[in-house]
Amino acid sequence: MKFMTAFRKEWLELIRTKRMLIALVVLVLFGMTSPLLAKMLPEIMTMVPGGEQFTMLIPPPTINDAVVQYVKNITQFGILLALLFGMGSMANERDKGTAAMVLSKPMPRITFLLAKLIAYTTLFTLAIVIAGIACYYYTYILFGKLEIMPYLEMNGLILLYLLVYVALTVLFSTLTKTQYIAIGMGFGVLILFGIVSAIPGWGVYTPDLLVANAGLIGTGGAPENWTGLWVSLGVISFSVTASFLVFRKQEI
Binding site residues, other proteins, CB under 8 A: 1-2, 5, 9, 12-13, 16-17, 96-98, 100-107, 248-249, 251-252
Nearer Cβ to other proteins (123/163): 123
**Residue 61 · residue 42 · CB < 8 Å:** yes
What are the Cα distances from residue 36, in Å, to 12, 136, 145? 33, 11, 15
Sign of the Cα torsion 218, 222, 227, 233 reads positive
Nearer Cβ to other proteins (93/208): 93
Nearer Cβ to other proteins (53/104): 104
C-alpha span between 177 and 164 (Å, rounded): 21
Nearer Cβ to other proteins (199/245): 245
User: Residue 167 Cβ, how far from other proteins at the closest point, in Å?
Assistant: 23
User: Residue 26 Cβ, how far from other proteins at the closest point, in Å?
Assistant: 21
Nearer Cβ to other proteins (97/220): 97
- Which DSSP string do the residues of 55-67 spell out, in sequence order? HTTSPPP-HHHHH
CA angle 182, 185, 191 (to 5 degrees): 145
If we measure between CA atoms, which residue out of 141, 156, 143, 160 comes closest to residue 233?
A: 160
Nearer Cβ to other proteins (224/251): 251
Amino acid identity, position 209: L
User: Residue 152 Cβ, how far from other proteins at the closest point, in Å?
Assistant: 35
If we measure between CA atoms, which residue out of 68, 72, 86 comes closest to residue 163?
A: 86
User: Residue 125 Cβ, how far from other proteins at the closest point, in Å?
Assistant: 23
Amino acid identity, position 26: V
User: Residue 169 Cβ, how far from other proteins at the closest point, in Å?
Assistant: 20
If we measure between CA atoms, which residue out of 170, 192, 206, 195 comes closest to residue 91?
A: 170
User: Residue 78 Cβ, how far from other proteins at the closest point, in Å?
Assistant: 24
